[in-house]
Structure 1
Amino acid sequence: MTNSLFCVENLRVAYPERNQQSSWAINDVSITLEPGEKLGLVGESGCGKSTLGRATMRLLPKSTQIQGRVTFSGESVFEMNPEQLRRFRGEAVSLVFQDPMTRLDPLMTIGEHCIETLKAHEPKLSRSQAKDRAIETLDAVKIPASRWSQYPHEFSGGMRQRVAIALAVLLNPKLIVADEPTTSLDVTVAAQILKELTRLCEERGTSILLISHDLAMVGEYCDRIAVMYNGKIVETGPVESVFQNPQHEYTRSLLKAALHIQKDRE
């Protein structure tokens, strides 16, 4: 497991609760992600998917109880000092959240967001160099240079998510953690966003951890799938194998529900 790009071993997470003993929101979870691989983490709301993503990035409150081990390229994430952690979150791993406004400051232009991100991690870059690189990245997600000086409120939801993706890939990370990145978008725009994200990652050799409740989306864009239920990983494997021959009852119920929804849409 230690030779993998990203490795989670026997992870447990519990949130503090008043007047009673905390229970495990994540219970003995182990997953691995190889370089360039696309892993889909699926499960119903409240099963622990987002908690898992945030725990591995050390983004949970300090009062949270965490056990287990998380490594990135063999280095322990839980043992990183503040400077190592800052570089890890931007240069090694980037995040794309469900709501792009989590990442975007309404008082800053899109260009200022890009410049600030680049200069924070590569201070030796000149402003003109940073701008050239940022415009190239924005163009890759189909945002023209003419929108450089516009503010987030001047963009649609789909365009704001494209900006968030551009900021995520700006530093050429080895892994992108995308937590329900298209939930607030309509089906057509969501498909476009995921297509752009996976294309960019394939071109750069970047791995993706796609956290989603949408089985169809995971089936189309991911190589492997990990099914989460009640804080545990109950099944994992290649997407095609899991879809054709699910082993766990919960996985079978998810697939039946997905087929039912698809038939209703048709």
Structure 2
Amino acid sequence: MNLDPAHALDLTARLAAAAALLSNCEALAASGRMFAYPGVFHISGVQSMHWRRSPLLAVLGGRETQLLVLGLLGSLTGVLLGPWNPLGYLALLTALAVRLAMGQRRILGSDGAEQLTTLVLLSVALAGFPPFSAARTALAVGFIAAQLVLCYTTSGVSKLASPVWRGGAAVGDIIGTQTYGLHLAARALGRVPFGSPGLGWAVMLFEAAFAAALFGPPWVVLSALGAALLFHLGCAVVMGLNDFLWAFPATYPCVLVSSQWLR
């Protein structure tokens, strides 16, 4: 499967916009309790976490819903039109601006999927700035692919350095929690001999060795990406990490192009 860099970046931008769309929808659904007093993101508490008074927070305070709706519309338009359409490009810029603003307004609670989506949208914004440049497009594709490799590799290496992960208890402990767990999955895993250690080591080794797959033949690359997609699907179902299911696979078209270059 051969992908053109411009086509790959188009697919990546649309999928990243879908991740931003989901994030905006989830934030809107919880905005009533998150941003109102005594919610965790009430303006008084957030302001105290900045080292100096932020004029941006003063503007955003009380306008969170309107901002999230704007980000939702921008993300949706970006999904439908893509970065190579002028209106789609402006919509993606809007979605990016909303994410950056909300990053200041909601200073706590950021995760890897949110950060990766922001990096992808920023890369698309720089690559898609007119006039079209094949060099900028290729640079963005390579940067996005490198970010995914960095994410997986550092995650795998950090897990390998953890005695809890190496001991095999980490997966069982995580899915047994109230916040990131699913009681049914925890019970099922507990009934499988060596279930938690086996799954934990599979995740660690896969993440740490992911970069090596990019140098293999196409079927190896596609198999690695398929396994990663199943991993994120499992995290979405069991742990409720829904944005991870879109944010990380959004980079896969760029990874495919980069693997073609490496071969």
TM over 0.5: no
Q: TM-score range by the shorter chain?
A: under 0.3
Report the structure number with the largest CA radius of gyration: 2
User: Which structure has more helix as a fraction of its residues?
Assistant: 2
User: Which structure has more strand as a fraction of its residues?
Assistant: 1
Give the structure-1-normalised TM-score. Answer: 0.26
Give the structure-2-normalised TM-score. Answer: 0.26
